[in-house]
Chains A and B, each alone.
Chain A
Amino acid sequence: MNKPAIDVAYVAELARLELTDEEKAVFQPQLEDIVRYVEKISSVDVEGVPPTMHGREIVNALREDEVRPSMPREDALSNAPARTGDEFMLPKIVEGAES
């Protein structure tokens, strides 16, 4: 059987997940095994079969569009790793800009 095409280091980067070299070495063969396992679905004839993307199909589950109070600002900020005043504080994210 062909070696699955998963490149763990690359996909982890897409997933915004820094991996150590040890993790890459462990996860690469494990994920190849998992990908190989799930490839058994490729043998099923799904011609003309619609996908099931939800646990149960419900159309237009809408409530009245009325204004309601939202979570108080203080609550929303209460678990912030860092804050400044009424805002979340972040490291500098504009790369290459002078600070």
Chain B
Amino acid sequence: MNELCKLGIKEARAGLAKGDFTSVELMQSVIDRYHAENGRIGAYLTFDEEGALAEAKANPMGVPLAIKDLINVKGQPCTCGSKILRGYTSTYDATVIKGIRAHGFVPAGRVNMDEFAMGSSTENSALGRTVNPYDVTRVPGGSSGGSAAAVGGDLCIAALGTDTGGSIRQPASFCNCVGLKPSYGRVSRFGVTAFASSLDQVGPLTKSVEDAALLLQALAGHDEMDGTTPREPVPDYSAALESATLKGVKIGLPKEYYIDGLDPEVKRITEEAIKKCADAGAELVEVSLPHTDYAMAVYYVVAPAEASANLARFDGVRYGHRSERSDNVFNLYARSRAEGFGPEVKRRIIMGTYVLSSGYYDAYYGRASKVRTLIRRDFENVFTKVDALLTPVVPTPAFKMGAVQDPITMYLNDLFTIPGSLAGNCSISVPAGFTKATDDAPPLPVGVQFICDAFREDRLLGISRAFEQIERGE
């Protein structure tokens, strides 16, 4: 087996351009790696090898991308990690798939995820088990756990994921990838199975910040098929990296994110990252986002509410699973859904239905939407004073498979990623170091999060690239 699958996008493009290898050899390397490693890692659910090779052959500059299994590619499965969509075949391409093809990427296999993107460990997938490539007894994070494991374990060149409350950034931190959540509206959601429509965004999981810029370039922009994508110009993200520096950059440290419950190794790595930024000439200032403490509560009203509405489309009528016990219309719906959805999805549908139901709407959904405004204003306010925020991504490194059983404990994984999602700004997880090995664990990767104001991905990537250069000693 050759080592081409270990390349990033930038190196792969350089090699293709120089004629060191062909796009078919590159895809074949990913496929060989898939055969050798997927049994152990479980990143992919399915891989249309013939189709991928044929498309690579037709696209001599084509770089393979693993696709999270909720993004539609015509003719391929799109299970969302759910039994309810087993056997489904997409009938059209998502806009982001058209975008990546137009920018020299080829969809490779389909990677695992928590069912309907609800979860933080990929253990909620009904269709496969994905582990962390750095310690196979641990979770890869989630919900884009397959994407992160594929990139972190070199089972692909890069991957697409989606992030609603942290589903790109948290697994990126656990699997040593760069994971970017674009600003809300920066990337089209057309053809991406909806979880919470006011929060969902597609984004890149890559092996470097430069690769994240290259892949975001293929994703970003207005789409007439998604009315939430404004006609804001798309900057040249790679150009924004050329003069990347931390010198004179004002970085805010939100005091609400530096909590007592932080794992000591995460705390150490985050503090070292702060020091590296300061040594590189950044100006670090403590700031406050006073409504942070309410963000989790707001999210667990808003996201389930939107999910309960979005998942109403799974009714056993037009596509997806239909119960054989559909003896009347109520049972057609209720039993098809009962058989098709897993426990976390059921919990969130019930929660969402409850907070939208007559008599509870004002107290829960209505009120949460107002508190969301206060959270958004916190960020707007702070971004008049600083260029970026620097925070931990997750309070802990990757945890053991099966270790977290209680839903609320699992939800706390997204404590630091949810507020930015509610505000709609852009944020990124960048690798920042490894924990010290213990009797129980090898060194585990830990990322740090940078957050910038909405539609300032250029600035976010520039700061991240400057940090990455220090981190890698470049």
On whether the two chains bind one another, the answer is yes
> A residues bordering B, Cβ < 8 Å?
5-6, 8, 11-20, 23, 26-27, 30-31, 33-35, 37-42, 44, 46, 49-56, 58, 61-63, 71, 75-76, 78-82, 88, 90-93, 95
**A55 and B328 form a contact (CB under 8 A):** no
Instruction: Other than A23-B346, A41-B371, give 12 A-B pairs with Cβ distance below 8 A.
Output: A11-B353, A30-B407, A38-B301, A38-B364, A44-B291, A52-B370, A52-B373, A56-B184, A56-B454, A75-B91, A91-B327, A95-B329
Instruction: Tell me, in angstroms, the Cα distance from A16 to B320 when the chains sit together.
Output: 16
Q: Does B239 contact A (CB under 8 A)?
A: no
Q: Does B334 contact A (CB under 8 A)?
A: yes
Q: Which residues on B sit within 8 Å (CB–CB) of A34?
A: 300, 347, 351, 407-408
Q: Does B136 contact A (CB under 8 A)?
A: no
- A38 interface neighbour in B300, B343, B353, Cβ under 8 Å: B300
**B228 and A55 form a contact (CB under 8 A):** yes
**B91 and A63 form a contact (CB under 8 A):** no
> B residues bordering A, Cβ < 8 Å?
88-89, 91-92, 183-185, 198-199, 224, 227-228, 230, 291, 293-294, 296-298, 300-301, 308, 312, 315-322, 326-335, 337-338, 341, 343, 346-347, 349-355, 357, 360, 363-364, 366-374, 376, 406-408, 422, 424, 454
Instruction: Tell me, in angstroms, the Cα distance from A22 to B338 when the chains sit together.
Output: 13
- A76 interface neighbour in B91, B230, B293, Cβ under 8 Å: B91
Q: Which residues on B sit within 8 Å (CB–CB) of A56?
A: 183-185, 228, 230, 424, 454
Q: Which residues on B sit within 8 Å (CB–CB) of A17?
A: 334, 337-338, 341, 346, 349-350
| Identity of the chain A residue whose Cβ is nearest the Cβ of B227 in the assembled complex | A61
**B350 and A49 form a contact (CB under 8 A):** no
| Identity of the chain A residue whose Cβ is nearest the Cβ of B377 in the assembled complex | A49
**A95 and B328 form a contact (CB under 8 A):** yes
- A31 interface neighbour in B199, B227, B327, B351, Cβ under 8 Å: B351
Instruction: Tell me, in angstroms, the Cα distance from A16 to B322 when the chains sit together.
Output: 13
Instruction: Tell me, in angstroms, the Cα distance from A27 to B367 when the chains sit together.
Output: 24
Instruction: Tell me, in angstroms, the Cα distance from A51 to B198 when the chains sit together.
Output: 13
**A42 and B338 form a contact (CB under 8 A):** no
A-B contacts, 9 listed (Cβ < 8 Å): A11-B350, A35-B351, A38-B300, A39-B297, A40-B297, A41-B298, A44-B291, A53-B369, A90-B317
Q: Which residues on A sit within 8 Å (CB–CB) of B408?
A: 33-34, 37
| Identity of the chain B residue whose Cβ is nearest the Cβ of A61 in the assembled complex | B227
**A41 and B367 form a contact (CB under 8 A):** yes
Q: Which residues on A sit within 8 Å (CB–CB) of B330?
A: 16
Q: Which residues on A sit within 8 Å (CB–CB) of B91?
A: 71, 75-76, 78-79
Instruction: Tell me, in angstroms, the Cα distance from A38 to B376 when the chains sit together.
Output: 18
**B424 and A8 form a contact (CB under 8 A):** no
Known contacts A11-B354, A12-B350, A79-B91; decide if A58 and B198 are in contact (CB<8 Å): no
Known contacts A44-B291, A46-B371, A52-B373; decide if A93 and B328 are in contact (CB<8 Å): yes
Q: Which residues on B sit within 8 Å (CB–CB) of A38?
A: 297-298, 300-301, 355, 364, 368
Q: Which 7 A-B pairs have the closest CB atoms?
A: A55-B184, A61-B227, A51-B369, A81-B322, A79-B319, A16-B333, A46-B370
Q: Which residues on A sit within 8 Å (CB–CB) of B319?
A: 79-81
Known contacts A18-B335, A40-B294, A71-B92; decide if A6 and B407 are in contact (CB<8 Å): no
Instruction: Tell me, in angstroms, the Cα distance from A49 to B315 when the chains sit together.
Output: 37
Known contacts A18-B338, A27-B350, A79-B91; decide if A91 and B228 are in contact (CB<8 Å): no
Instruction: Tell me, in angstroms, the Cα distance from A93 to B347 when the chains sit together.
Output: 28
Q: Which residues on A sit within 8 Å (CB–CB) of B354?
A: 6, 11, 31, 35
